[in-house]
Chain A
Amino acid sequence: MSHSVTETEKLDNTTLGFWLYLMTDIMIFASLFATYLVLVNATAGGPSASDIYSADFALLQTVILLTSSFTCGVSALLLRRGKKTASMWLLLATVVLGAAFLALEVFEFSTLVSEGHTWQTSAFLSAFFTLVGTHGLHISVGLIWAITLLVYMYRTRIGSDMVRKMMLFALFWHFLDIIWIFIFTIVYLMGVAS
């Protein structure tokens, strides 16, 4: 393949493009964080932040997601070194950990709803469900992406294209962990402390 756009150039452009997409995503989360912070006390007689959060639960989620971020990073690292099988195992671990994280979040949401604290209860809960839920939605997209990537890796021989696809996924997954640090801190820890 002697494309005028060389493979490295393509990798460069795609990485920067995807990076900029992540920047736009940061601004989406910025808007949601701003909304949450403005509405956090607007409980309208419903439960307040300290009533519904558990720091232990949030820490468990944090550790799981952080670990998945680590396995994902190492997976990408190994693929760059040509170790496809090991890389796939670690990516699988990432998927399992991510799914566990998501399951915990679904559990948390369903518990809240079953207690009658839905997103219709108050502006505060609307903001909470939307902010945390948007992160969860990103995690779900990431999981689907990782699974298609696994299928692709299983079927195809290793090449620069595969490394590029893996690198983009790793960027996305690390990015989600960084967003989570702030959800952990601003929503959960500060909520418990308030």
Chain B
Amino acid sequence: MELLSGLLGRMSLDYLPTEPATIGAAVGMPLGALGVAAALTYFKKWGWLWNNWLTSLDAKKIGVMYIVVALIMLFRGLFDALMLRLQTAVAVNGASGPFDTDTFQQVFTAHGTIMIFFVAMGLMFGLINVVMPLMIGARDMAFPWLNSVSFWLFVAGMILNNVALIFGGFSPGGWLGYPPLTGLEYNPGPGVDYWIWSLQIAGLGSLFSGINFIVTILKKRAQGMTLMKMPIFPWSVLVTSVLIALAFPILTATLALLSLDRLMGMHFFTSDMGGNPMMYINLIWAWGHPEVYILVLPAFGIFSEVVPTFARKALFGYKTMVAALVAIMFFSFIVWQHHFFTMGAGANVNAFFGIMTMIIAIPTGVKIFNWLFTMYKGKIWFTAPMVWFLAFVVTFTLGGVTGVMMAVPALDFQVHNSLFLVAHFHNTIIGGVVFGFLAGITYWFPKVFGFRLYDAMGRWSAYLWQIGFILAFMPLYILGLMGAVRRLDHYSDPTWQPFFIVSGIGVLVILAGTTMLVAQVAYSIWKRKELVDTNGDPWDGRTIEWSVPSPAPHFNFASTLKVTQRDDWWYKKQAGKHLTPPPPSAYKDVWLPKNSASGLLVGAGAGMFGFAAIWHMWWLLVVALVFVVAVVIRRTYDTNSEFMIPAKELMQEDLLVYKRRNA
């Protein structure tokens, strides 16, 4: 018996789910995974999956895998949202609603955590991986293997997050898990630990990605591409990565301190023995505020590429765009206290951070005007990415305006922690981040797969998302002003109910929009012959990623590229230079990283480590740690990790591309 408890830590059958909704999910998820595995076996696709995807170090493929995981998680997050709104549509007065309070708490925690860390971050890293190297003329990331490690740490975090549903339950503490509620005293179970380790592991992956992206952008740009000739998307990635590199360590440290409270009985954030829960709130927001800019800046970068392409005009105010990004890089670190104006700081502190918050709205406003001026007098082509952009302008601006409202401490005291706040940040995150990334996916899809997405369905998806968004969140503004607080699972005022019902319908419409997105992909695969991208440049693009054939080859660029100006590809086309192939001397042998399973192994080891820490299985903790260290050391001393493509082969392939282009 003692041996068993040594082996299994604090596991017991009591941790199996008992509540019907959770049982459904707990049974459904493994069955779904089993179904996929069976299909892979039946179609004999395991080898293909392993060799072409899972072990690939090609940034574009890693990017696609990020996006696939993120889209699956988007559905999980949406179903969570649906459950929340189902509850609030029903649970008024005597009616209890379908979920008990504890389940409801776990659901909103899971919704927030998943949407931020595994959907928004996943889509972001995915898109960056797919196009950032292409846009700066690089063959790959600076550290391709580290890139794969980042991805698998992200997957390990995602899996831990979902395993909680099957065994042990998730944290009820909200997406930022404030103590003392998440401390040992009030939540001794494994739920909070699932939350901690899921974020800790995924966060570590993000940190590595941030470093990787910075070095890639600073060191691997094409010849002649000075920073001020670089497109805005890589610029936004650079700034985001700096924020990641400086903010994510704060998250790592904060979660570690909370974990020390829980594992070793320390007193950082307990309410006794001198601990100070307010310090946790201070620290987590010192990460949390830069985090929202980490998410939204790449989306801004995407729109800065989409709008000029579809308006057929160079971006208005390139330099102010860069200046705005750099300003945000600094200011996003000095506004964090506005998340807890009401915690009890004095007027001086609140006023300082309130003013800083209003100031940071200025560079963001500059960007909006820049895009609008780019459209002005342009020949606009209303494709799906452009519709996403227009939806973004309306939604995001509204979110920005309510944000500035709440930057006034006096007003914040009224709406703090209310549904008004919930509506505000969904305005910015859905309207800014999600719309941006969906536009980006549509825009760059042909570059990766060689055919376009069927545009009409993309537009419909955008319309549905926009309508659903208005239905889901405008009622929340009103409810917030009426006094409804966030995370409310039951209320007694029947006049609120109609608003909650409308909001629930909104979630259904958003779900329909997301389904339309998947249907669009399916339909486009079916019709891929008609949608094929023959010349690699389906939108008559401006930046250099459109100069390579679609789907882009592993080596990205056949010849050594020389860039002379912004929108280099566009001006090359204007001058007719895109029709003459470069001289043979421009082709050099190219070394690329071989496939490697060790990134996946590191992810597996990290996942094991987290699982062991959650369940107090100390032997497994040690085994996992030794395993990860061993894999890393072996990889460090591996001298045979690259393969070569000879210059001759590259030239022959490239000449075919030029032949097609001239035809």
CB atoms of A and B under 8 A apart anywhere in the complex?
A: yes
Q: Does B214 contact A (CB under 8 A)?
A: yes
* Chain A, range 120-178, C-beta contacts under 8 Å to B: 120-124, 126-127, 129-130, 148, 152
* Chain B, range 392-438, C-beta contacts under 8 Å to A: none
Instruction: Provide the bound-state CA to CA distance between A17 and B211, in Å.
Output: 6
Q: Does B578 contact A (CB under 8 A)?
A: no
Q: Are B139 and A17 in contact (CB under 8 A)?
A: no
Q: Are A3 and B274 in contact (CB under 8 A)?
A: no
Name A124's closest neighbour in chain B (CB-CB): B274
Choose one: A5, A12, A34, A129; the contact of B591 (CB below 8 Å): A5
28 A/B residue pairs, CB under 8 Å, sorted by A: A4-B589, A5-B591, A9-B219, A17-B211, A17-B212, A21-B211, A25-B249, A27-B246, A27-B247, A27-B249, A27-B253, A28-B252, A31-B250, A35-B268, A39-B268, A42-B275, A44-B267, A119-B260, A119-B264, A119-B266, A120-B264, A120-B265, A121-B273, A122-B274, A123-B276, A126-B268, A130-B257, A130-B266
* Chain B, range 579-595, C-beta contacts under 8 Å to A: 588-591
Q: Which residues of B contact A34 (CB under 8 A)?
A: 283
Having A13-B143, A39-B274, A129-B266, one finds 14 other A-B pairs with CB under 8 Å, namely A17-B146, A20-B211, A24-B210, A24-B211, A27-B247, A30-B250, A31-B283, A42-B273, A119-B266, A122-B274, A123-B268, A123-B273, A123-B274, A123-B275
Q: Does A100 contact B (CB under 8 A)?
A: no
Q: Are B250 and A23 in contact (CB under 8 A)?
A: no
What is the interface size of chain B, counting residues whose CB is below 8 A from a CB of the partner? 46
Q: Which residues of B contact A16 (CB under 8 A)?
A: 215, 218-219
Whether A24 contacts B219 in the complex (CB less than 8 A), given A4-B590, A119-B266, A130-B257, comes out as no
Q: Are A13 and B219 in contact (CB under 8 A)?
A: yes
In angstroms, how far is the closest chain A Cβ from the Cβ of B329? Answer: 14
Q: Which residues of B contact A194 (CB under 8 A)?
A: none
Contact with A along B202-218 (1 / 0, CB 8 A): 00000100111011001
Q: Which residues of A contact B207 (CB under 8 A)?
A: 24
Name A141's closest neighbour in chain B (CB-CB): B629
Q: Are A3 and B591 in contact (CB under 8 A)?
A: yes
Q: Does B642 contact A (CB under 8 A)?
A: yes
Instruction: Provide the bound-state CA to CA distance between A117 and B142, in Å.
Output: 47
Q: Does B575 contact A (CB under 8 A)?
A: no
Choose one: B142, B254, B264, B273; the contact of A31 (CB below 8 Å): B254
Q: Which residues of B contact A67 (CB under 8 A)?
A: none
Choose one: A2, A21, A44, A130; the contact of B273 (CB below 8 Å): A44
Instruction: Provide the bound-state CA to CA distance between A163 and B142, in Å.
Output: 20
Instruction: Provide the bound-state CA to CA distance between A32 and B248, in Å.
Output: 14
Q: Does B33 contact A (CB under 8 A)?
A: no
Q: Are B283 and A3 in contact (CB under 8 A)?
A: no
Q: Which residues of A contact B324 (CB under 8 A)?
A: none
Q: Which residues of B contact A30 (CB under 8 A)?
A: 249-250
Q: Which residues of A contact B210 (CB under 8 A)?
A: 24
Q: Which residues of B contact A4 (CB under 8 A)?
A: 139, 588-591
Q: Which residues of A contact B275 (CB under 8 A)?
A: 39, 42, 123, 126
Q: Does B279 contact A (CB under 8 A)?
A: yes
Q: Which residues of A contact B250 (CB under 8 A)?
A: 27-28, 30-31
Instruction: Provide the bound-state CA to CA distance between A127 and B269, in Å.
Output: 11
* Chain B, range 238-270, C-beta contacts under 8 Å to A: 245-250, 252-254, 257, 260-261, 264-268, 270
Whether A20 contacts B215 in the complex (CB less than 8 A), given A28-B253, A121-B273, comes out as yes
Instruction: Provide the bound-state CA to CA distance between A39 and B266, in Å.
Output: 12
Whether A24 contacts B245 in the complex (CB less than 8 A), given A119-B264, A123-B267, A126-B267, comes out as yes
Choose one: A24, A127, A129; the contact of B249 (CB below 8 Å): A24
Choose one: B249, B266, B279; the contact of A28 (CB below 8 Å): B249
Q: Are A38 and B279 in contact (CB under 8 A)?
A: yes
In angstroms, how far is the closest chain B Cβ from the Cβ of A68? Answer: 23
When A and B form their complex, which 4 residue pairs have the shortest distance between CB atoms, in order from nearest?
A42-B274, A123-B274, A31-B253, A27-B249
Name A12's closest neighbour in chain B (CB-CB): B219
In angstroms, how far is the closest chain A Cβ from the Cβ of B588? Answer: 6
Q: Does B633 contact A (CB under 8 A)?
A: yes
Instruction: Provide the bound-state CA to CA distance between A44 and B250, in Å.
Output: 26
* Chain A, range 1-54, C-beta contacts under 8 Å to B: 2-5, 9, 12-13, 16-17, 20-21, 23-28, 30-32, 34-35, 38-39, 42-44
Instruction: Provide the bound-state CA to CA distance between A18 and B394, in Å.
Output: 42
In angstroms, how far is the closest chain A Cβ from the Cβ of B244? Answer: 9
Whether A2 contacts B589 in the complex (CB less than 8 A), given A16-B218, A38-B276, A148-B633, comes out as yes
Q: Which residues of A contact B253 (CB under 8 A)?
A: 27-28, 31-32, 35
